[in-house]
Chains A and B, each alone.
Chain A
Amino acid sequence: MMGVNALTDTKAVQAIEVDSLSYRYPKGPAYSLRDISFSVDSPRFVAIMGPTGSGKTTLAMTLNGLIPQLFEGDLAGRVSVMGMDTQRFRVQTLVSKVGLVMQDPETQIFGITVEEDVAFGPGNMGLDTERIRKRIDDSLRIVRLTGYEGRFTSQLSGGEKQRLAIAGILAMYPEILVLDEPTSELDPLGREEIYKAIDNLQRERNLTILAVEHSSEDVAERADEVIVVNSGAIVWRGHPRDLFCNVPLTREFGIRPPQVCEFGWKLHELGYISSSDVPLTPAEAGELTRTLLKGKSLACQGEQGERDQLQPSSGTRQSAAPALQSPAVLVEGLEHNYGNITAVRGVNLEIEKGEFVALIGQNGAGKTTLVKHFNNLLKPSGGKVYINGADTAGKTIGSLSRHVGYVFQNPDHQIFCSTVSEEVGYGLRHLGLSEAETEKRVQDVLEFVNLQEVADRHPFTLGKGERQRLAVASVLAMRPNILVIDEPTTGQDWIGAEHMMGLVKNLHESGHTIIMITHDMRIVAEYAERVVVMHKGRIVADGTPSNVFSKGDVLRAAYLTPPQISQLAAELEDYGMPPGITTVDEAVAVVSRAL
């Protein structure tokens, strides 16, 4: 009887089953996960979303037993993958069922060459050489790294490293793949390649994929389901459409909805469409707008003329500006070689005082190489760089730091003092200022970035956002009037990105010239006055965001994708949509005028 019962009761094994899971790190102040229950039946694509610090990574680490086997602490509840309890089986056993790709690819690569690295996992499992070979070929093909077998891992780009990290896990032939922010540090081309690999995987291996991801636009196109985590608990679960198309709900969760959803929601608020018609993807948005506009035309000549006048192209900008004041940055025929590789060639660039310039392009396009010449971190192989009218040749980095502040992406690469105010004062101590003057500058700067309350705290007790503001403050203390800001929002959630950009905007408004490197086209559209596009060491486009984002062919050649809303506008050109729409509000205004 029992046997028969057991048989009839046995449903298909759930891929993932989490039952009232709670977890607190050893010495953790509070529970990182609280009473989490969910199950996933294979094969599907599930996205885990939520603000930074909400417990997404912790949750990912419970799924293959890293928690509690490597990280101890208080764990209650049960997690099982493919029917195996993660507390009963070793991580090394579970890895053939569930593969976990973590955030930083750098620490997940063990081989000196690509094939050695992929062989690491299967080699640990004791497979024979022939089978390992097959797994290497197979995994590299899925992540599109075939032909890279003999390359040195140290010479791969960030995106290639991330794909190699995925291949290394795939070579274990897991049935479930957990990806922790697989694309957050990558350029647009890198992201695209990762998602191609994920699409390949779903097609070929029928895997269950769980991905922690901030980019709602990527999630909207692919996920079968979204799980929203906040403060360690699941706060929402369902189809991406029900989340993203309900814009107020996404705001409540601190998730940035896709631009087309914002566009649709605004049209809904204006009463043109019902809430159930809010589009999820650009394709849907295009269809919706076309249906709405049937028989109507968007073309309004006067309006468009006005736009063109408001936003002159960069060509006219330079000749129009009288040469009364020397430009903040003037680059003439700059060339830079690393050994026999030319990273930047024939670059001419003029940036006026007080401009807000976004520098975009894929990794390796030469953006960082270019800006490192502004404060002499790199010296030109050919050509000249003038800062505030003065040639940088022969100047020290220290003396230029009073003109050009360079804010690096990762604040932890510069924090070393035991208090916040000491940290800010580091550069000042070399200027020979009086004690009182130093004190005053530190106070001023801390006030500007709103850190005066934590002046005596240890920097490492601060949150990521605060540490980033501290890094900005330590650069501002030198009172530079030009600020180079390298990827200020990379790896941050929406709220963090908004805070950081608020600070950058304040700096711009207080008179600083801003030169920002970023991969986030929405940020470019919303904040920058001018966009410079680099590709293969050259500047290939230079103009206002609306000017640059309407040059689809140039951007495609540079492997860049304009914001969703600009793509939508380009698609509706035959309906008379004026070119150069870069924000949701502009698009809504144009469409609603026609309706």
Chain B
Amino acid sequence: MFLEYVPGKSPVHKLDVRAKVVVFICLVTLLFLFKHPAYNAFILFAVAIIAFSARLPFSRLWGMLAPLVPVFVIIMIITGYTYPASTFSSPFARQVLFYSWPGKRLPVSTGGILYGFTLLLRIVTMVASSSILTLTTPLGDFLQLLRILRVPYEISFVITTGIRFVPTMEAKSTMVLDAQRSRGGMIDTGGMVQRIKAYVPIMVPMIVDSIRMSENLACAMLNRGYGATRDWTTLQEIKMTLGDYLVIAAAIVITGIAVVMAQHGYGML
């Protein structure tokens, strides 16, 4: 599952969830400050170092990114064509790389391709940094963050229950799929329309079962005293350390410097 927490003892794991969220927000801000791919590549490099120090399973990160590769290619092509040279300020970016149609039609600008690169780097960096955040932080910490932000208990309850039921629903859908295939159902053959139609035998039992489950869940919640008091207790309380404060300060300072740099024209195309 993509949100699964990977236990570890790295500095990244030990960082308080609030510090991690601040760093994450700063990283995203940095990504959108600069249009030049070199700057974004540098940010990605920094994120890669963090991921490395957290000893995260890189194969898993790649597994998440691999399906996006065709999207990346499409983005590059589209930006290459749709950003005419005139939208860029630097002379280098304004160059027309080539024309894909005789008679100087459908130009592809250097800036377009470069900006495509930037978009690509932004996506990769965001996927990577959000994965680092979720893979190194237990769900309980996020829920406490919501609590500190005064988000109602109901909402964090829905989030936990939702995540808790992902494996259950996966197991159920495998069971239904196996049952239908075993009696000669053809689930994964045929054209688009046929495939969609073929999913009716999966969806109907799943929906019926979900309705039954939600009714049981309502009973079980009451059986456990859900709603007995307005306040509720969690097992762990999160605490900020000096290190956390330093990290937050550093992230804010770096972002501040970057904003000034961007205003002075650094990292533009």
**A interface residues (Cβ-Cβ under 8 A, vs B):** 61, 64, 66, 69-70, 90-93, 95-96, 99-102, 104, 106-112, 115-116, 119-129, 132-133, 153-154, 168-169, 172, 372, 375, 377, 397-398, 401-402, 405-406, 408, 410, 412-416, 426-428, 430-431, 460, 474-475, 477-478
Contacts and interface: CB of A to CB of B under 8 A. Distances in A.
B150 interface: no
Contacts of A120: 224
A401 B233 contact: no
Contacts of B265: none
Nearest to A172: B225
Contacts of A477: 183
The B interface, classified by DSSP as helix, strand, loop or mixed, is helix
B195 to A, nearest CB: 14
B216 interface: yes
Interface string B167-183: 11000100110111111
A289 B163 CA distance: 57
25 contacts: A66-B219, A92-B227, A92-B228, A96-B225, A108-B223, A110-B161, A110-B220, A111-B160, A112-B163, A119-B233, A119-B234, A121-B224, A121-B225, A124-B225, A126-B229, A129-B233, A154-B167, A154-B168, A398-B181, A410-B175, A416-B204, A427-B183, A430-B185, A430-B186, A474-B183
Please indicate which of the listed interface residues A120, A127, A372, A406 has the most CB atoms of chain B within 10 Å of its own CB.
A120
Given A66-B223, A106-B168, A108-B223, A413 B184 contact: no
A377 B181 contact: yes
Contacts of A431: 184
A460 B143 CA distance: 40
B182 A475 contact: yes
B91 interface: no
Contacts of A116: 140, 235
Contacts of A96: 225
B258 to A, nearest CB: 37
Given A66-B223, A96-B225, A412-B205, 14 more contacts: A93-B228, A100-B223, A110-B160, A116-B140, A125-B225, A126-B228, A172-B225, A375-B182, A405-B182, A413-B209, A414-B183, A416-B204, A426-B185, A427-B184
Contacts, number: 175
Contacts of B172: 413
B184 A398 contact: yes
A475 B183 contact: yes
Which 4 A-B residue pairs are closest in the complex by CB-CB distance? A427-B184, A416-B204, A92-B228, A406-B182
A460 B228 CA distance: 36
Contacts of B179: 406, 408, 413-414
B181 A172 contact: no
B194 to A, nearest CB: 11
A168 B220 CA distance: 10
Interface residues of B, number: 49
Nearest to B173: A413
B231 interface: yes
Contacts of B176: 413-414
A401 to B, nearest CB: 4
B205 A124 contact: no
Contacts of A128: 233
Contacts of A124: 224-229, 232
Interface in B228-257: 228-229, 231-237
Contacts of A125: 225, 228-229
A52 B235 CA distance: 40
A375 B185 CA distance: 13
Given A100-B223, A111-B164, A124-B225, A397 B205 contact: no
Given A153-B164, A398-B186, A430-B184, A91 B175 contact: no
Contact of A112 (B160, B203, B226, B229): B160
A415 B205 contact: yes
B151 interface: no
A415 B201 CA distance: 8
A131 B130 CA distance: 35
A90 B225 CA distance: 9
Contacts of B200: 416
Contacts of B205: 412-416
A415 B221 CA distance: 28
A142 to B, nearest CB: 17
Nearest to A473: B183
Nearest to A431: B184
Nearest to B183: A427
Interface in B37-95: none
A150 to B, nearest CB: 9
A415 B217 CA distance: 22
A126 B160 contact: no
B223 A377 contact: no
Contact of A123 (B167, B186, B219, B233): B233
B233 A92 contact: no
B202 to A, nearest CB: 8
Nearest to A95: B225
B178 A372 contact: yes
B222 interface: yes
